[in-house]
């Protein structure tokens, strides 16, 4: 291998590493919590620059320049696993609760079913706190999401899904 070929290969590897750590990521979905939008086994491409600059080998942003919006499909770390969920509410959104026809959370007229345990744990939260979002899976019957583990810090969102 001559010097030119070696330099081209080395440059390509460095560019690839830079892209992986700072620009895009590839996520393989395991589970059915985002059905029907995202299927088990699908591969997603995540824009890591959507909300800020990600810390390599970390689970937070170095700097943040944009907040997630309702209906964004985001990727974040939870218990050392990459999690894919939809943003259902952003900071400042009013949360209402109902016990008519079961336990429910109401966000902007959208009804989200809760278990009794989730209802009693959440019912005192009347607004999504600053610098957080409320996320849910599209397949809410099986999804483990903010109803179970609470609000997600926006600084912990690694990126936005932009291609599947």
Instruction: State mean pLDDT over 19-46.
Output: 92
pLDDT one-digit tens code per residue, 46-74: 999 999 887 776 667 778 889 999 999 99
Distance of alpha carbon 68 from alpha carbon 132, whole angstroms = 9
Q: How many domains in the chain?
A: 1
Distance of alpha carbon 46 from alpha carbon 52, whole angstroms = 13
- In this structure, is residue 72 part of a structural domain? yes
- In this structure, is residue 37 part of a structural domain? yes
For residue 137, the domain's CATH number is: 2.10.109.10
Residues near 33 by beta carbon (within 8 Å), at least 6 away in sequence: 84, 85, 137, 138, 139, 142, 143, 144, 145
- Which range marks the domain in which residue 104 is found? 24-163
pLDDT of 59 reads: 64
Distance of alpha carbon 89 from alpha carbon 86, whole angstroms = 9
- In this structure, is residue 102 part of a structural domain? yes
pLDDT one-digit tens code per residue, 121-132: 999 999 999 999
Instruction: State mean pLDDT over 68-95.
Output: 95
Expressed in percent and rounded to 5, the helix, strand and coil fractions of the chain are 20, 40, 40
- In this structure, is residue 10 part of a structural domain? no
Instruction: State mean pLDDT over 40-47.
Output: 96
Distance of alpha carbon 47 from alpha carbon 159, whole angstroms = 5
């Amino acid at each position: 291998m001559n010097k030119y070929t070696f330099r081209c290969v080395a440059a390509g590897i460095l560019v690839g590493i830079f892209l992986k750590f700072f620009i895009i990521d590839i996520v393989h979905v395991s589970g059915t919590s985002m059905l029907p939008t995202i299927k088990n086994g699908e591969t997603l491409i995540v824009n890591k620059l959507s909300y800020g600059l990600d810390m390599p080998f970390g689970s937070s942003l170095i700097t943040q320049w944009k907040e997630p919006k309702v209906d964004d499909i985001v990727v974040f770390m939870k218990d050392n696993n990459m999690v894919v969920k939809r943003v259902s509410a952003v900071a400042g959104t009013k949360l209402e609760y109902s016990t008519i026809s079961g336990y429910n959370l109401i966000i902007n007229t959208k009804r989200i079913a809760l278990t009794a345990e989730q209802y009693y744990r959440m019912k005192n939260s009347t607004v999504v706190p600053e610098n957080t979002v409320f996320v849910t899976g599209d397949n809410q019957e099986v999804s483990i999401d903010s109803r179970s583990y609470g609000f997600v810090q926006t600084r912990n969102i690694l990126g936005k899904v932009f291609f599947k």
